[in-house]
Every structure is written in structure tokens, then in C-alpha cells.
């Protein structure tokens, strides 16, 4: 009688792709919340209510009321019974405007009214960078990696996806509450509390990120690893793209910036449940792997020891990946936080469409990341892909910094190029880590990479917010903001790109010396 040969659950194609889909869904929900506030920068940094018209223009509500009153007085109409509170969707407004040096009467219909929060650019930058605050300053990402290698995938992932949910709820509470002039940590209470929520969320999101990376390596090592990682990133980008595309319309429709966050928190609940489902599969995979091990008489793999960290820290290739990750991502994720407002003020895009142009970036990557991942699996050239991606990142930021070509279509083309760069580097970088670091230290390795990356994700928005407030904000003689000059912030982003090019080149040279196999295919023939 033929003996039944034990197989691992991950040897089944259906099982491993199902596991991938489930954990990627959890991650996608997290990415949605990460960027849900990015298109709201303009609304957050406007004080008082903002009126949006059906022709896609907008105006501060008090300015509109003043204009309508002036118009009535000038035309000897009876004093309108109009206050900021009374403005509502569907109302028709008449006032006068200067067009080409002439006073013309315009009639506009209100489509929605939303409340601006009156944050400064520095406060917005601080809030955006708060994502990595606990990860960086309390070393939580580092400890998260050690927890992952010590306590395992099920415990760590459940804890971290729960933390994302808690953080999202705190952020929603902060944004939906009017704290008046109250202060916390010497800051505007709303900014401080929303930042605390975002920091807790960010801790959960990053630990979930390293856990999911380890899950994928567990199920796909020696198989379609880069394609699987590429697909996970692609699903994550759907979350980012949806956040950039729907956040402002939702906030405008509901009249408040807190609603997109509430929607994100509900989405996160489903992500949390889906991770619990994955835990059941993970248990079965472990049981089947143990059965295979027993049958083949293999030794049990040694668990993670703190001394293993030394091996990670001593690898030059590992540090180059760290630095590349820091510089490349500093040029992308923080940029996305400011990109919507850049579209409004530099490329003159109506606010209601402005979020759609940055949304093109993650949308493009949804298709391209798995394509490049699969290319890396089959023909290799990982280090070269990273160099090309870094060159493209630099070119994009230089083009955004130029004071010329301020057309919306130009911004679209440049954003598409950034989308290609943002597919090339992640699809080659993440699957390269297991070529440098062995499986049992992988949790810690990804954690250290994310830790270093988070230093950029935290401090770069702070820097850019501050630079915008002090060097990019244009004001008239009365001190009223009239626009923004984005040259200085975009030059800073371009510098990150140049650093990424140099590091990617050093990585390729190191690979040639140490034979990590970054230029070789992942799939075993
Ligand atoms: N550590 C994450 C950072 C991040 C930003 N937004 C959500 N997560 C990361 O690098 N993920 C990999 C990626 O390419 O998105």
C-alpha cells in the first residue's frame, strides 16, 4: 500500500493565495486610514466654515456672507437674512466679483458646506508625522519585531490590528469634538489628541506590516514570493487610492472632516475580523508543517534569540536596504500628505478634483507592483530596478519644483511617472530582504527597516509643514494667505531622491561582492 506523503498547507496553491488575500485585506484597511486625512489638508488648515459651489469653486463662508451683504447694499436690495450658520446646500448666492479688471455679478449655487478646523501648516505637518511617533521615540517598532519573532504571527497580528482600531477611534473622537481653546501638551487639544490617536494607529499599522511580511515569506518562500509581496502592496495601494479619492467628497457631503475617519474605523473592524480568520489558517499551516517535519525526521528549527540581532546588525547589505528605504519612502509617503494642496495651489486644480491626481499614484502601482514583482521572480535584476526607481523619483520631484509648466495635465503625467517609481522600488526591495537575512530573524529585520523608515515618515512631514508655513506661504500686506510657492518643499523631496540613487548603487555593488543574489531570479526552476 502506498503511504500518504504529508504536505504542508502552503504547498496548496489555493490555500496560500487565500492566506495572502486575507492578510492583504487587513493591510489594505490600514492603508486606507493612514492616508484618509491627506486630501483634507486644505480644509483642516482653513478657519471656519467653507462653502463649496456646484461649479467646483469654494470660498470661506464668512467671505461669502460679506460679499452677498455688500451686493445687496450696493443694489439697494433689502438686507439679506443671511448668516454663516444659515448657509446650506442648494441655496443660490449673488455677489460681485472682479473678472479681468471688471466688476461682474455672479450667481452660484451652494453644493455643500464643511467646517474647517483652523490648523496651521505646522500643526498639520506635526499631525501627519505623528504616525511614527510611538514607533520611533518609544522604539515600539523595534520591540514589535522582537515580539513577532518571540510570540509568533497570530498573537502579534491580532494585537497590532486591534491597536490600529483603537488609534482610529481616538482620532475620530478628536476630530468630531469641538474642544474650543483647550490645550494638551501645550498644543491645540484637537491636534494633540488626533496625533495621539494617529500615533497609536501607526504603531499598530507598522507592526501589522512586519507581521504580514513575515506571513508572506512563511507561505511563499521558494515559490512566487515577489509576486505575492507585489500583490499585497498592490492591495494596500487600493486602500491609499480610495482614501485619496473619497475622503474629501465624504467630508464635504457630511460637513465635517471626522466622517472619513469614522468610515475608515468601520473598515478597520472588518480588517481586524479578517485577521482572526487568517489565524485559523495559520494554526493549520503550523500543524501541517510539524507533521511534515516529524515524517522527514528533520530537527526542529531553533527559535529566535536576542543574540541573532548581532548577525542582522553586522550586515552591510542590510544597512544599505535600510537607508534606501528611509530615503525613498521619505520622498513618497510624506509627499502624498501635501500633494493635494500642491495640486490646488500650483496646478490650479479645483479642490474637488485635486485629491484625484495624487490618487493616480497608488492606482498606477496596483497593476505595476505585481508586474515588476513577477519580473523580479522570473528574471531577477532587483538592485537595478531599485536604481531605476530612485532616478525616476528624483526626476519627478525636480519637475514638481520647477516654476514652469503649471498645467494640471503636466501634474498628471509626472504623477504617473512617480507611480512607476513607486512600483519599481517596493516590488524589488521587500523581496530582497529574505535574500540577505534568514527566516528566523526576518521579523526583527523588517522591524528595524520599518523603524528607520518611520524616522523619515515622522520627521519629514514635520519639516515640510514647517517649511511650507515659513518659506512657502505667500501673504498680502494684511497678512492674509494668498497662495503657496512649493519650490522649497519640492527641492527637499528631490534631495531624498538623490540620496536614494547613491544608496541603491552602493547596494548593487555590495551585492556583486557578497553574492546576496539580488540580481538573480527568486523562483527556483
Ligand atoms: N512601513 C510601511 C509604511 C506605510 C505607509 N503607509 C502605510 N504604511 C511600508 O513601508 N509599507 C510598504 C509599502 O511599500 O507600502
For ligand 1, atom 7, the nearest C-alpha belongs to 31
- What gap in Å lies between CA 512 and CA 60, rounded to an integer? 59
Neighbour-count burial of 466, counting CB atoms closer than 10 A to its CB (0-12 exposed, 13-18 middle, 19+ buried): middle
Q: Do the Cβ atoms of 57 and 356 come closer than 8 Å?
A: no
- Nearest-CA residue for ligand 1 atom 10 is 450
Q: 189-220 vs 13-34: helix axis angle to the nearest 10?
A: 170
Distance CA 462, CA 44 (A): 16
What does the pLDDT look like over 378-413, one tens digit per residue? Answer: 999 999 999 999 999 999 999 999 999 999 999 999
Does the pLDDT of residue 80 top 80, yes or no? no
Mutate to test the pocket of ligand 1, among 199, 202, 236 (most ligand atoms within 8 A of CB): 236
Q: What is the pLDDT of residues 306-336, one digit of tens each?
A: 777 788 888 999 999 999 999 999 999 999 9
Q: Does 347 sit in the ligand 1 pocket, CB within 6 Å?
A: no
Find the 326 Cα to ligand 1 centroid distance in Å. 11
- Nearest-10 crossing angle of helices 382-401, 356-379: 160
490-499: per-residue pLDDT in tens?
Answer: 999 999 999 9
Q: How far apart are CA 421 and CA 329, in angstroms?
A: 11
Cα(499)–Cα(503) distance, rounded to whole angstroms? 6
Nearest-angstrom CA–CA distance, 421 and 400:
15
Would you say domain 12-45+118-279+308-514 falls under CATH 1.20.1250.20? yes
| pTM for the model | 0.86
Q: Which has the closest alpha carbon to 20: 12, 290, 443?
A: 12
> DSSP state, 439?
G
- Output the CA angle 175-180-182, nearest 5 degrees: 95
Whether ligand 1 lies within 6 angstroms of the CB of 224 is answered as no
Task: Categorise residue 100: left if φ over 0, alpha if ψ from -120 to 50, beta otherwise.
Answer: left
Is any ligand 1 atom within 6 A of the Cβ of residue 209?
yes
Q: Residue 4: what pLDDT?
A: 57
Give the C-alpha separation, 396 to 390, whole Å.
Answer: 10
Using CA atoms, how far apart are residues 476 and 478, in angstroms rounded to an integer?
Answer: 5
328: Cβ below 6 Å to ligand 1?
no
- Asked if the model's pLDDT at residue 20 lies above 50, the reply is yes
Q: What is the ipTM of this complex?
A: 0.94
pLDDT tier at 443, thresholds 50, 70, 90: confident
Does residue 484 contact residue 341 with C-beta atoms inside 8 Å? yes
In the prediction, which pLDDT does 395 show? Answer: 98
Q: Is 333 in the pocket of ligand 1 (CB under 6 A)?
A: yes
- Helix axes of 258-296 and 225-254: crossing angle, nearest 10 degrees: 160
* Separation of CA 156 and ligand 1 centre (Å): 18
Cβ 450 under 6 angstroms from ligand 1: yes
Pairwise CA distance, residues 504 & 328, whole Å: 10
**222 phi-psi bin (left φ>0, alpha ψ -120 to 50, beta other):** left
Ranges in the chain annotated CATH 1.20.1250.20: 12-45+118-279+308-514
Compare 55 and 169 and report the one with higher pLDDT.
169
Amino acid at each position: 500500500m502506498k503511504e500518504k506523503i504529508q504536505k504542508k498547507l502552503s504547498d496548496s496553491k489555493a490555500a496560500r493565495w487565500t492566506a495572502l488575500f486575507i492578510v492583504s485585506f487587513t493591510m489594505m484597511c490600514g492603508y486606507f486610514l493612514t492616508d484618509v486625512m491627506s486630501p483634507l489638508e486644505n480644509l483642516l488648515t482653513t478657519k471656519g466654515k467653507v462653502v463649496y459651489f456646484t461649479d467646483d469653486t469654494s470660498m470661506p463662508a464668512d467671505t461669502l456672507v460679506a460679499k452677498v451683504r455688500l451686493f445687496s447694499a450696493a443694489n439697494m436690495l433689502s438686507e439679506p437674512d443671511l448668516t454663516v450658520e444659515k448657509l446650506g446646500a442648494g441655496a443660490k448666492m449673488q455677489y460681485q466679483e472682479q473678472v479681468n479688471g471688471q466688476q461682474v455679478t455672479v450667481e452660484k449655487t451652494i453644493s455643500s458646506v464643511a467646517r474647517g478646523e483652523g490648523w496651521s501648516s505646522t500643526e498639520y505637518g506635526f499631525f501627519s508625522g505623528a504616525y511614527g511617533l510611538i514607533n520611533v521615540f518609544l522604539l515600539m517598532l523595534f520591540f514589535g519585531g522582537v515580539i513577532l519573532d518571540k510570540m509568533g504571527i497570530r498573537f502579534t497580528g491580532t494585537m497590532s490590528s486591534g491597536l490600529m482600531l483603537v488609534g482610529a477611534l481616538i482620532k475620530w473622537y478628536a476630530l468630531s469634538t469641538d474642544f474650543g481653546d483647550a490645550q494638551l501638551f501645550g498644543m491645540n487639544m484637537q491636534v494633540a489628541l488626533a496625533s495621539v490617536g494617529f500615533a497609536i494607529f501607526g504603531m499598530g499599522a507598522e507592526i501589522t506590516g512586519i507581521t504580514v511580511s513575515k506571513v508572506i515569506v512563511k507561505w511563499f518562500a521558494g515559490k512566487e514570493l515577489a509576486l505575492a509581496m507585489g500583490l499585497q502592496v498592490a492591495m494596500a495601494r487600493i486602500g491609499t487610492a480610495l482614501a485619496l479619492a473619497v475622503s474629501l467628497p465624504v467630508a464635504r457631503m457630511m460637513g465635517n472632516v471626522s466622517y472619513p475617519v469614522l468610515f475608515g474605523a468601520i473598515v478597520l473592524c472588518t480588517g481586524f475580523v479578517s485577521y482572526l480568520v487568517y489565524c485559523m489558517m495559520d494554526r493549520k499551516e503550523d500543524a501541517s508543517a510539524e507533521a511534515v517535519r516529524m515524517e522527514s525526521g528533520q530537527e526542529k528549527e531553533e527559535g529566535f534569540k536576542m543574540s541573532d540581532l548581532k548577525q542582522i546588525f553586522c550586515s552591510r547589505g542590510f544597512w544599505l536596504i535600510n537607508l534606501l528605504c528611509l530615503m525613498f519612502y521619505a520622498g513618497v509617503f510624506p509627499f502624498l500628505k501635501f500633494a493635494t494642496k500642491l495640486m490646488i495651489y500650483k496646478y490650479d486644480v479645483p479642490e474637488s478634483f485635486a485629491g484625484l491626481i495624487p490618487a493616480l499614484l497608488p492606482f498606477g502601482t496596483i497593476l505595476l507592483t505585481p508586474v515588476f514583482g513577477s519580473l523580479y521572480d522570473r528574471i531577477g535584476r532587483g538592485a537595478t530596478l531599485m536604481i531605476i526607481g530612485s532616478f525616476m523619483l528624483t526626476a519627478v520631484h525636480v519637475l514638481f519644483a520647477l516654476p514652469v509648466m503649471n498645467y494640471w495635465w503636466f501634474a498628471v503625467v509626472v504623477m504617473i511617472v512617480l507611480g512607476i517609481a513607486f512600483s519599481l522600488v517596493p516590488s524589488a526591495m521587500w523581496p530582497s530582504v529574505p535574500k540577505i537575512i534568514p527566516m528566523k530573524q526576518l521579523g526583527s529585520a523588517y522591524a528595524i527597516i520599518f523603524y528607520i523608515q518611520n524616522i523619515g515618515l515622522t520627521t519629514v512631514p514635520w519639516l515640510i509643514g514647517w517649511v511650507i508655513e515659513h518659506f512657502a506661504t505667500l501673504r498680502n500686506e494684511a497678512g492674509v494667505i494668498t497662495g503657496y510657492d512649493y519650490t522649497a518643499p519640492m527641492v527637499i523631496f528631490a534631495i531624498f531622491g538623490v540620496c536614494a540613487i547613491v544608496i541603491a548603487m552602493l547596494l548593487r555593488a555590495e551585492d556583486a561582492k557578497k553574492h546576496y543574489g539580488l540580481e538573480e531570479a527568486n523562483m527556483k526552476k
